[in-house]
């Protein structure tokens, strides 16, 4: 036992206590987050009560994603002071001078035609991976104008099996990450494809290829953030419901065909920050009831904001 630093005799009824977290253990991520949280709070970053990964000091906002941190402040010197304070706590930080990308998202700053600052969030590399995975590299000129057809994507239980040469679940997973971060315009289409991941048919694969052809056309598009300095804390919420939108597209004996859909987007300072498109869990009997459920769903996101 001397090889791990235990000098005294180790007996069968002894138990080792691990003082440091080891990489690969289930509790390691939590241990690291608690360590990071303690150091941030020590230098004046109290944790938000609404979002455990958000820390706000007097002059700086810190967003944490696993072991990556983003610092935002009106002046760079405030960030430098906070980083130095964290280093003084004993943490070894690798500091990047500017934010050019984060978690695979390219972040570009520019000035719009009206002279206001803009932030453009792009994921062109991920889009290229989706296009390549779908086998559409040689069809760059064959693009689509919309991410989904007009009609919903049915279950197609008796349809031909998916045999189009790509991993359906893998492509859907990449599309989910894309729509969550920088492409709210494909949210509805991705959600429909996601529902068919368990047993995809050829029709579902063709539908997913339509989404891929739309991404070919809009490859250089992304989320544009244009915060309004005069209404920086103004919150706008838009929500709607599609009552029993799957009727006549699914088996009438399937209760899912009469479920309504909720869609919403929340903007802060004129910039979208939260969006979703998903089926309601309850079966409603009227348009008004589906609207009320949609409003209740959005309030769970809106009230904390």
Nearest to 123, CA basis, from 105, 110, 137: 105
Q: Which two tokens stand for residue 155?
A: 């279950």
pLDDT digits (tens, 9 = 90+) for 37-79: 998 998 889 999 888 999 999 999 999 988 788 898 888 899 9
Helix, strand, coil distribution of the chain in percent, nearest 5 = 35, 20, 45
Q: Is residue 298 part of a domain?
A: yes
Boundary residue ending a domain (51, 82, 97): 97
Boundary residue ending a domain (57, 77, 97): 97
Q: Which two tokens stand for residue 265?
A: 């987007």
Clarify whether residues 234 and 211 are in a common domain: no
Clarify whether residues 199 and 271 are in a common domain: no
Clarify whether residues 131 and 213 are in a common domain: yes
Clarify whether residues 137 and 206 are in a common domain: yes
Q: Is residue 115 part of a domain?
A: no
What is the rounded CA–CA span in Å between residue 68 and residue 24? 18
| Whole-number Cα distances in Å, 21 to 15, 34, 87, 156, 162 | 16, 12, 20, 49, 44
Query: What mean pLDDT is reported for the chain?
Result: 87
101 three-class SS: strand
| Mean pLDDT computed over 256-277 | 91
Sign of CA dihedral 215, 217, 218, 220: positive
DSSP state of 125: H
Instruction: Check: CB of residue 232 under 8 Å from CB of residue 144.
Output: no
pLDDT digits (tens, 9 = 90+) for 150-192: 778 888 878 888 888 899 999 999 999 999 999 999 999 999 9
Q: Is residue 103 part of a domain?
A: no
Clarify whether residues 184 and 233 are in a common domain: no
What is the rounded CA–CA span in Å between residue 68 and residue 87? 15
Cα dihedral 299/262/267/145 (nearest 10): 180
Q: Is residue 106 part of a domain?
A: no
Clarify whether residues 31 and 93 are in a common domain: yes
pLDDT digits (tens, 9 = 90+) for 130-146: 999 999 987 777 888 99
Question: Any idea what the CATH number is for the domain that residue 45 is in?
Answer: 3.30.310
pLDDT of 211 strictly over 60: yes
Report the 3 state secondary structure along 170-215.
Answer: HHHHHHHHHHHHCCHHHHHHHHHHHCCCCCCEHHHHHHHHHHHHHH
Clarify whether residues 143 and 179 are in a common domain: yes
Clarify whether residues 203 and 131 are in a common domain: yes
What is the rounded CA–CA span in Å between residue 51 and residue 156? 40
DSSP state of 152: -
Clarify whether residues 66 and 86 are in a common domain: yes
Instruction: Check: CB of residue 277 under 8 Å from CB of residue 261.
Output: yes
User: The pTM is what?
Assistant: 0.80
* Number of domains making up the chain: 3
Helix ranges, the chain (H) = 28-42, 76-88, 124-133, 168-181, 187-194, 202-217, 287-302
Boundary residue ending a domain (182, 217, 252): 217
- pLDDT given for residue 272 in this prediction: 92
Range of the domain at 171: 127-217
């Amino acid at each position: 036992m001397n090889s791990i630093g235990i000098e005294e005799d180790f007996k069968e009824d002894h138990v080792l206590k691990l003082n440091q977290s080891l990489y690969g253990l289930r509790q390691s991520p939590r241990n690291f987050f608690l360590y990071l949280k303690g150091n941030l709070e020590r230098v004046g970053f109290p944790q938000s009560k609404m979002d455990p990964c958000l820390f706000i000091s007097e002059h700086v906002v810190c967003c944490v994603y696993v072991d990556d941190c983003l610092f935002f402040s009106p002046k760079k010197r405030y960030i430098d002071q906070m980083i130095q304070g964290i280093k003084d706590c004993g943490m070894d930080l690798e500091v990047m001078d500017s934010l050019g990308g984060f978690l695979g998202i390219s972040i570009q700053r520019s000035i719009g035609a009206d002279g206001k600052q803009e932030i453009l969030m792009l994921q062109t590399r991920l889009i290229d991976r989706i296009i390549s995975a779908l086998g559409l590299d040689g069809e760059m000129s064959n693009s689509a104008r919309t991410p989904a057809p007009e009609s919903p994507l049915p279950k197609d239980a008796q349809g031909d099996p998916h045999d189009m040469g790509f991993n359906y679940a893998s492509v859907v997973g990449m599309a989910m990450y894309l729509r969550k971060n920088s492409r709210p315009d494909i949210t509805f289409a991705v959600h429909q494809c996601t529902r068919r991941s368990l047993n995809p048919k050829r029709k579902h694969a063709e539908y997913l290829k339509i989404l891929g052809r739309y991404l070919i056309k809009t490859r250089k598009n992304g989320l544009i953030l244009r915060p309004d300095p005069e209404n920086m804390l103004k919150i706008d919420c838009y929500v709607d419901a599609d009552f029993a939108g799957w009727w006549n597209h699914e088996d009438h004996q399937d209760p899912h065909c009469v479920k309504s859909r909720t869609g919403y987007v929340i903007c802060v300072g004129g910039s979208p920050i939260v969006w979703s498109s998903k089926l309601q869990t309850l079966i409603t009997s009227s348009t008004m009831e589906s609207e009320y459920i949609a409003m209740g769903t959005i309030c769970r996101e809106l009230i904390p904001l």
